[in-house]
Amino acid sequence: MAARALGVRLSLAFAIVAVLTIALAMVMVGVGVQRQFGQYVTQRLQDRADTAATLLGSEYERSGTWARADFSVLAQFAAGEDLRLRVLGPHGDLVAYSVEGGMVRSPEADDAPRTVSARAPIIVHGRYVGEVLIATTSPGGLLTARDLAFRRSLLWMLVVVGLVAAIAASIAGAAYTRSIVAPINAVTRVAAALRSGDRSARTGMNGEDAIGALGSTLDAMADAIEADREAERRLTADVAHELRTPLQAIQATVEAMQDGVLPTDEERLSVLHDETVRLGRLVGSILELSQLERGTAAVTLGPLDPAAPVEQAIEGSRALMESVGLTLTADVEPGLTVMGDPDRLTQAVANLLSNAARYTPEGGTVRVGVSAEKGTAVIEVADTGIGIAPEDRDRAFTRFWRADPARARASGGLGIGLAVVREIVERHGGTVALDGVEGGGTVVRITLPLVTAGSA
């Protein structure tokens, strides 16, 4: 309804602008035509006066005096043009004037119009012998009846052309308005459908104009909403799946103990305790990941040397590496500066080292490096483990994904570590990527932008 009202207002606005523009153009053209036409008529009357003066001059030269002059040469001069002629002598005395059907000599009554439209001197051999005056009896002044009829037809033609142009401009404006209102209606319908729960509604618009950009933005927003809803559904399913196994183990153990199938001893209580601890870690990790994804987790950025949190993570992981029979090496370049949270960066590197320990067979090697590369600080964790297939590297940073599900669950992996790493790195304005190593193994590269002393 609102879009229809907008269309009516736009169409009316286009019509008003078109009519006003054409009316202004008509007025300007009419004034210009009137001026040019008036100049044309004035020049035409002057030409008639000059022609009459030439004829009268020839007659005066033949007769030698106005008293013997034959004015019949002008009998048909003004016929049909609403013109009246007056011939004056050299002293301004009236010699003759025109009436219907011919010329009349003075001193008979002169009823010719006194308004002079054009005049021309009569010259014979360089001597001024008189003057001819031309006046018009038409109501239009300088314009004769024929001139007035022509002017009326011209003005009517301008009016008709203006009306046709106004109608054409209004139709074009209405069509253009429809082209504007139609996509607005589409955006409104899609927004209403999304509000009603139809998450598949899209405008399909991809134009570069403002309305096309609005439609494509709405589609992108709908896609993002649908992706978020899908992520929520997937998270719910993943959490239910991950919680089911430890809960079933706890339930089975408790029921067996209640039924007397299993004794209530230290061993059984230890199993319950381990599963409860695992549930606690899983819930805590899910909560932390959710907070990082929503941007509510505390991340305090400040200038720091990335070597410090990396070395702290290395020291915290040495005992783990030794317990599983792995060799841990480090090549850390000090003196770099990034904007980061030391605790979060330590957590990210520790997660990578924990994954490397989990997926690297005994006797393998885990290498940690920090270096500068093209204006960035690169933190690299490489191992000689089972590796990740190229087609799985894009999915490796999603929650609950495992390279070897059976091995990870048996060793206590939650499948959330890499997802947490990605969120931490992105909160630092960096990127994280996986790569394979020839002969097996995985390399994880964290890239953080370097800052200079002035910008820090």
Residue 380 pairs in a beta bridge with 369, 445
Domain containing residue 244: CATH number: 1.10.287.130
Regarding whether 282 and 226 lie in a shared domain, the answer is yes
Contacts of 91 (CB under 8 A, 6+ apart): none
**Pair (252, 307) in one structural domain:** no
My answer on whether omega of the bond before 113 falls inside 30° of 0, hence cis, is no
Q: How many CA atoms lie within 13 A of 422 on its CB side?
A: 17
Q: How far apart are CA 372 and CA 335, in angstroms?
A: 10
Is residue 186 in some structural domain? no
Domain span at residue 277 reads: 210-294
**pLDDT value of residue 280:** 75
Cβ contacts of 4 within 8 Å, gap of 6 or more: 181
The SS3 of residue 411 is coil
Report the percent of the chain where pLDDT is more than 70.
Answer: 72
Same domain membership, residue 331 and residue 290: no
Please report the pLDDT score of residue 52 as a whole number.
85
CA separation for the pair 446, 455 (Å, rounded): 22
Verify that 337 and 235 share a domain, yes or no.
no
pLDDT along the chain (456 residues), means of 10: 59 71 72 73 83 87 85 64 79 79 54 67 91 74 63 76 76 73 76 78 75 79 76 69 72 81 79 76 69 68 91 90 91 91 89 86 91 90 81 64 48 63 87 75 90 61
Per residue in 124-164, pLDDT (tens digit) is 888 999 998 888 766 555 555 666 677 677 778 777 877 78
Tokens 């000689």 correspond to what residue? Answer: 384
323 and 352 co-located in one domain:
yes
Within a domain: residue 312? yes
Report the pLDDT value the prediction gives residue 311, as an integer from 0 to 100. 93
Q: What is the pLDDT of residue 408?
A: 44
Domain match, 249 and 324 both: no
Per-residue model confidence (pLDDT) at position 338: 92
Using the 3D structure, point to which of 114, 146, 178 is the last residue of a domain.
146
- Examine the domain organization and report whether 320 and 434 are in the same domain: yes
Asked if residue 249 is part of any domain, the answer here is yes
* Helix axes of 2-63 and 145-195: crossing angle, nearest 10 degrees: 170
In a domain, 344, yes or no: yes
Co-location of 51 and 72 in the same domain:
yes
Listed residues 254, 269, 294: the one ending a domain: 294
**Same structural domain, 68 and 120:** yes
Residue 387: what pLDDT?
A: 76
Among 266, 272, 270, smallest CA distance to 253 is for: 272
Same domain, residue pair 289 and 308:
no
Which residues make Cβ contacts (< 8 Å) with residue 265, sequence separation at least 6?
A: none
Domain assignment of residue 162, yes or no: no
429: left (phi over 0), alpha (psi -120 to 50) or beta: left
**Could you give the 3-state DSSP secondary structure of residue 376?**
strand
- For residues 270 and 391, membership in a common domain is answered with no
Is there a domain that residue 133 lies in? Answer: yes
Rounded Cα–Cα distance for residues 151 and 416 (Å): 90
* Cα three-residue angle 34-38-44, rounded to 5 degrees: 145
Tell me, yes or no, whether 311 and 286 share the same domain: no
Predicted structure pTM score: 0.47
The DSSP-derived string for 103-170 is EEETTS---S----SEEEEEEETTEEEEEEEEEE-STBTTB-HHHHHHHHHHHHHHHHHHHHHHHHHH
Q: Considering the domain boundaries, does residue 115 fall inside one?
A: yes
- Long-range contacts formed by 278-283: CB under 8 A, 24+ apart: 278/246, 278/412, 279/243, 279/246, 279/247, 281/414, 282/242, 282/243, 282/246, 282/414, 282/416
**pLDDT value of residue 123:** 92
Question: Domain boundary residue among 294, 320, 341?
Answer: 294
Q: How many domains does the chain have?
A: 3
Q: Could you tell me the CATH number of the domain that includes residue 16?
A: 3.30.450
Q: Is 168 a domain residue?
A: no
For residue 410, what is the domain's CATH number?
3.30.565.10
Helix (H) or strand (E) holding 215: helix 210-258
- Smallest CA-to-CA distance from 341 within 285, 297, 373, 371 is with 297
